Amino acid sequence: MARVAVIHFADRVAEAVERKRSQVVVGLDPVVDLLPVELRGEVVLGRDHAAAACERFCRAIIDAVAPYAVAVKPQAAFFEALGADGMRALEAVCAYARAAELLVILDAKRGDVGSTARAYAAAYVEPRGDAPALADAITVNPYLGRDALEPFLAACRRDGAGLFCLVKTSNAGGADVQDVRLSDGTLMWQHVAALVGGWGEDLVGEGGLSAVGAVVGATFPREVAEARRMLPQAVLLLPGVGAQGGDPANLAPAFTSGPASALVSASRSIIYAYRNVTDDWRGAAGGATARLAHDVWKASAW
């Protein structure tokens, strides 16, 4: 096995947060049409060139943001949209991020039954032969219940993997299911939060945080605060700042379990920060990450 000593995922997060004084996760959502002109040139030649351009873009973004971010969060969909070449790019980008000492949180929102769940866990959060796991952690969907997440929980236990389970998503439409009121008066997302707490309670690291975290949209600060109260041991992953409108200043309550108890994720507002502003896309991404890291760190230290 490649990981000589298995360090608990939440402890790896805490180490990175303290070392960098940052809780920022940079989402990697490569979209060909949004790439800098210098990278877009050959894309007309086909999907393999598109994947290569996206890979070059992500590598450069990783170099630019590495001093200010604790993790990158590649969004699987954008790589899958480029076919097999895109998946090869995803593998390369994840390896590059790890080499840059960034944690890798694969945003894949998987969830499936039995042997299928085992295949997803093997694909993304288990060591692959002599090679390390593709990602340190993965986002998962709770709709299929605990048994569908069991292979991922096993990877947390055995391989030091991390999970972030969807609880309250950042989009307005999530209310269709997540805000439905239950017979006991609570809402569905609160029920799921309670499940997530149970799934993670025997997976707590030395720092007191669990390998099973929760995704809560930064677009809903009241729900963020409530999820924090319900899940004192979970690392909260908070997407939705920047392009989706969430404000870091409202996220202070997320950090009452410590500086590493929440991670703030931004994607387009960082990686495409250059657009309509400057040709220096690397500098713009680095600057946007540094500013967000500063704002979040300030909010976390209340």
Residues lying near a copy of itself in the complex (CB under 8 A): 29, 31, 75, 77-78, 80-81, 83-88, 91, 107, 109-117, 119-120, 122-124, 128, 141-148, 166, 169-178, 180-183, 185, 188, 191-192, 195, 268
Q: What whole-number distance in Å separates Cα of residue 137 and Cα of residue 156?
A: 9
Q: Shortest distance, CB of residue 123 to a copy of itself, whole angstroms?
A: 4
Of 200 and 207, nearer to a copy of itself (C-beta) is 200
Q: Shortest distance, CB of residue 216 to a copy of itself, whole angstroms?
A: 13
Of 158 and 181, nearer to a copy of itself (C-beta) is 181
Q: Let me know: does 212 contact 153? Beta carbons within 8 Å.
A: yes
- In 3D, which of 142, 267, 266, 144 has the Cα closest to residue 212? 142
Q: Shortest distance, CB of residue 169 to a copy of itself, whole angstroms?
A: 5
- In 3D, which of 256, 201, 197 has the Cα closest to residue 225? 256
Of 172 and 277, nearer to a copy of itself (C-beta) is 172
Of 22 and 190, nearer to a copy of itself (C-beta) is 190
Q: Which amino acid, one-letter code, is at 217?
A: G
Verify whether residue 109 is a known catalytic residue.
Answer: yes
Find the helix packing angle between 146-159 and 188-200, rounded to 10°. Answer: 40
Reduced to 3 states, what is the DSSP secondary structure of residue 109? Answer: strand
Q: Shortest distance, CB of residue 99 to a copy of itself, whole angstroms?
A: 18
Quickly count: other Cβ atoms within 10 Å of residue 216's Cβ.
32
- Structure-block tokens of residue 175: 């209310």
Q: Among 20, 73, 109, 168, which one carries the catalytic annotation?
A: 109
- Structure-block tokens of residue 42: 């050959």
Residues with a known catalytic role: 109
